[in-house]
Amino acid sequence: MKTKLFLLQLIISSLVIASIICAQSLDELLSEGDQFADKFENEKALAVFQKAEKLYPDNWEVTWRISKAYVDIAEKMPNKTSEEENAQLAVYQKALDYAEKAVKLGPDKANSYVRRAIANGRIALFKGVFSVAGVVNSVRDDCLKAIQLGNGGNFVQAIAHYVLARTHAKASEKWKPARSIIGLGWADNEVALKEYKKAIELYPEYIMFYVDYAVSLGREDKYKEAKAMLNKALTLPIKNQEDPKKLEEAKSLLNKWKNE
């Protein structure tokens, strides 16, 4: 009897130790992949996350990271020929597939909807916002869902507000009666301004927040405020792979609006 009890305790102890080792291994893989992502080494980050996926299938933390990695890879792909465009779109579609999976694995997590909104947003921009109104509506709805959930921390919430702002800004570029026909009559640049401001309040260190906010301010002839946002952007460190382009855009707009 004592022998059986000892064996049972040994098995339980082994399982506990094994689970701890697995958890640590997953954390190590996530950390390694995140470090590559922070350095914009997107293919290396993806490879690490794919390794994690094989070891820990259907893990939410792994799944949303793979979606993000695919978006980051696609952003840097060439798209000058139709063949290159098709290849880029295919990668964005992979990002969407993993974002959809992230929503299924973590329906109560704001970041699931943020990742899906970003993937769908990229596809909408690729295909043309006004040709895929349903996709644009999905982007808006996912951002609102993420904001309603309110979890994930300030950065995730800031991104949700930022993507919502960009969606309003982009969709409102067309004459309202014309876009109302295709279901985009809700878009409003004034709403975009409020959402950009909220994103900055939550996470005041992202260059793109300020530059895109400035663009929307410029549309309302609020050039003084817009130039202040652009000058602020020029003081911030690089945190996103698109930041160098955004800084060049900021300099160009400051030169364009210097007499405004």
Task: Per-residue pLDDT tens, the chain, 260 aa: give them.
Answer: 545 444 445 455 444 444 444 455 899 999 999 999 999 999 999 999 999 999 999 999 999 999 999 999 999 999 999 999 999 999 999 999 999 999 999 999 999 999 999 999 999 999 999 999 999 999 999 999 999 999 999 999 999 999 999 999 999 999 999 999 999 999 999 999 999 999 999 999 999 999 999 999 999 999 999 999 999 999 999 999 999 999 999 999 999 999 99
| HEC string for the chain | CHHHHHHHHHHHHHHHHHHHHHHHHHHHHHHHHHHHHHCCCHHHHHHHHHHHHHHCCCCHHHHHHHHHHHHHHHHCCCCCCHHHHHHHHHHHHHHHHHHHHHHHHCCCCHHHHHHHHHHHHHHHHHHCHHHCHHHHHHHHHHHHHHHHHCCCHHHHHHHHHHHHHHHHHHHCCCCHHHHHCCCCCCCCHHHHHHHHHHHHHHCCCCHHHHHHHHHHHHHCCCHHHHHHHHHHHCCCCCCCCCHHHHHHHHHHHHHHCCCC
Look at residue 68 in the predicted model and tell me its pLDDT: 98
pTM: 0.90
| Dihedral-angle region of residue 140 (phi above 0 means left; psi in -120 to 50 means alpha; beta otherwise) | alpha
Look at residue 24 in the predicted model and tell me its pLDDT: 54
Round to the nearest angstrom and report the end-to-end CA distance of the chain.
89
Q: Are 123 and 92 in contact (CB under 8 A)?
A: yes
Look at residue 5 in the predicted model and tell me its pLDDT: 47
Look at residue 23 in the predicted model and tell me its pLDDT: 52
Query: How many other CB atoms are found less than 10 A from the CB of residue 226?
Result: 24
Q: Are 42 and 72 in contact (CB under 8 A)?
A: yes
Instruction: Please give the structure tokens belonging to residue 165.
Output: 């702002």
d(CA 200, CA 178): 31
* Of 233, 255, 257, 256, the residue nearest 245 (C-alpha): 233
Look at residue 148 in the predicted model and tell me its pLDDT: 98
Look at residue 13 in the predicted model and tell me its pLDDT: 46
Look at residue 20 in the predicted model and tell me its pLDDT: 45
CA atoms within 13 A on the CB side of 131: 6
Instruction: Please give the structure tokens belonging to residue 155.
Output: 């950065």
Look at residue 14 in the predicted model and tell me its pLDDT: 45
Q: Are 2 and 21 in contact (CB under 8 A)?
A: no
Q: Are 167 and 132 in contact (CB under 8 A)?
A: no
Q: Which residue type is seen at 80?
A: K
